[in-house]
Amino acid sequence: MGVPFADLDVTHRELRADIDRAIAGVIDSGKFILGPAVASFETALAAATDQSHAVGVSSGSDALLVALMALGVGASDEVVTTPFTFFSTAGAIARLGARPVFVDIDYNSFNLDPAAVESAIGDKTRAVIPVHLFGRLASVPYAGRVPVVEDAAQSIGAGDVGGTCSTLSFFPSKNLGGMGDGGAVLTRDADFADRVRLLRAHGARPKYIHKVVGGNFRLDALQAAILEVKLAHLATATKRRQAAASRYRELFATADLDGVVLPEPSPEHVYNQFVVRVPRRDELRAFLQDRGIATALYYPEPLHLQECFADLGYRPGSLPVAEAACREVVALPIFPSIRAEQQEQVVGAVTEFLRG
């Protein structure tokens, strides 16, 4: 028995013939860098996400980096962001010599607290990076007054909130996962898209004539071909994730457990993760693990307390809501092919732990 944390095997078995054909097509074309496979995927991705432009890049981390480069972020700039996210959200800021300004999150959504963002915006603020964490859209009332890079690595399919651009990751565990690294920058601004394209290939236009210093942020043709196959099934996979989330809600409502806080419902939520707050979190994880139920921790340590950011001067207690979240959250298994019995097993084991 037991319940895995995710199950990519099922998806890849269902799509295997199409994926094999797509890979063979790239091999036969002999075009492995950008080329028609990447262009075709970009067109399909822009249409599927209701954007005007999609630029495929090498990873979600590089998508953030190149988006900030396109905004001209550099030394002496500040970029406001959340401490409760994957590292690269803040890493991209620091890699450009700019200063990450961490502000606290909202208790219910786990996303940046918009009021805290407003009070952190100052003369040096060059951009804000809200993260649509776990697949739930952040509230971004300040978009329009300051450039906003939406970190949508976990929220493909949920839409956008009017930022300058959104960045995606195709890391295998994301809702649209490749078979390796990949990412994209989405935007409705043609000039911004053009700038990202320029920066993606060393700022060269034409080849060997460099207008600006960019990098190698290109998406592989093979990944693009695989991703285009999987993109056609994303909407169905998202509906299955949302149905699984509803089933968890029903099961937990029936179990009626004190101290378990479910993710705040939101119609656009695409549930890359189903993250709950629980009492005695670490003991609960061990209890579930003994029963073969896999869980994960997003995230055990907030970014403002990481060693690499020690010189920014944050202390334990600086951002208490994010720090508490790091102690209280656990991600339960959720994936498109999860079965009702598996979810019953998860909730049954949580119930046994908290009642026993």
Ligand X SMILES: *Cc1c(COP(=O)(O)O)cnc(C)c1O
Residue 142 or 170: which CB sits closer to ligand X? 170
81: contact with ligand X by CB under 6 A: no
51, 82, 88, 166: residue in contact with ligand X (rule CB under 6 A): 88
C-alpha R_g of the chain: 21
Distance in angstroms (rounded) separating the CA atoms of residues 298 and 134: 9
Look at the chain and count its residues: 356
Residue 58 or 295: which CB sits closer to ligand X? 58
Residue 125 or 223: which CB sits closer to ligand X? 223
Residue 110: phi and psi, rounded to 5, are 65, 0
Closest contact distance (angstroms) between CB of 344 and ligand X is 28
11, 49, 61, 82: residue in contact with ligand X (rule CB under 6 A): 61
Residue 80 or 350: which CB sits closer to ligand X? 80
Count the residues of the shown chain that bind ligand X, applying the rule CB under 6 A.
15
Closest contact distance (angstroms) between CB of 8 and ligand X is 15
Closest contact distance (angstroms) between CB of 176 and ligand X is 11
67, 69, 77, 86: residue in contact with ligand X (rule CB under 6 A): 86
Show the site string, 139-178: x = touches ligand X by CB under 6 A, - = not: ------------x-xx--------------x-x-------
> Segment near ligand X (CB under 6 A), from 80-88, 140-148, 221-229, 261-269?
80-88
Q: Residue holding tokens 């962001």?
A: 81
Residue 182 or 343: which CB sits closer to ligand X? 182
302: contact with ligand X by CB under 6 A: no
Q: 3-class secondary structure for the chain?
A: CCECCCCHHHHHHHCHHHHHHHHHHHHHHCCCECHHHHHHHHHHHHHHCCCCEEEEECCHHHHHHHHHHHCCCCCCCEEEECCCCCCHHHHHHHHCCCEEEECCECCCCCCECHHHHHHHCCCCEEEEECECHHHCCCCCCCECCECEEEECCCCCCCCCCCCCEEEEECCCCCCCCCCCCCEEEEECCHHHHHHHHHHHECCECCCCCECCCCCECECEHHHHHHHHHHHCCHHHHHHHHHHHHHHHHHHHHHHCCCCCECCCCCCCCCCCCEEEECCCHHHHHHHHHHCCECCECCCCCCHHHCHHHHHHCCCCCCCHHHHHHHHHEEEECCCCCCCHHHHHHHHHHHHHHHHC
Q: Residue holding tokens 């790091």?
A: 326
Residue 83 or 257: which CB sits closer to ligand X? 83
> Segment near ligand X (CB under 6 A), from 86-94, 245-253, 320-328, 333-341?
86-94
> Segment near ligand X (CB under 6 A), from 56-64, 108-116, 247-255, 278-286?
56-64
> Segment near ligand X (CB under 6 A), from 9-17, 58-66, 105-113, 322-330?
58-66
**Four-residue CA torsion sign, 234, 236, 239, 241:** negative
Q: Which residue is nearest to ligand X (CB)?
A: 60
Closest contact distance (angstroms) between CB of 133 and ligand X is 7
Residue 109 or 345: which CB sits closer to ligand X? 109
49, 81, 82, 85: residue in contact with ligand X (rule CB under 6 A): 85
131: contact with ligand X by CB under 6 A: yes
Per-residue tokens: 118: 């407003």
Show the site string, 209-248: x = touches ligand X by CB under 6 A, - = not: ----------------------------------------
Binding site for ligand X (CB under 6 A): 59-61, 85-86, 88-89, 131, 151, 153-154, 169, 171, 181, 183
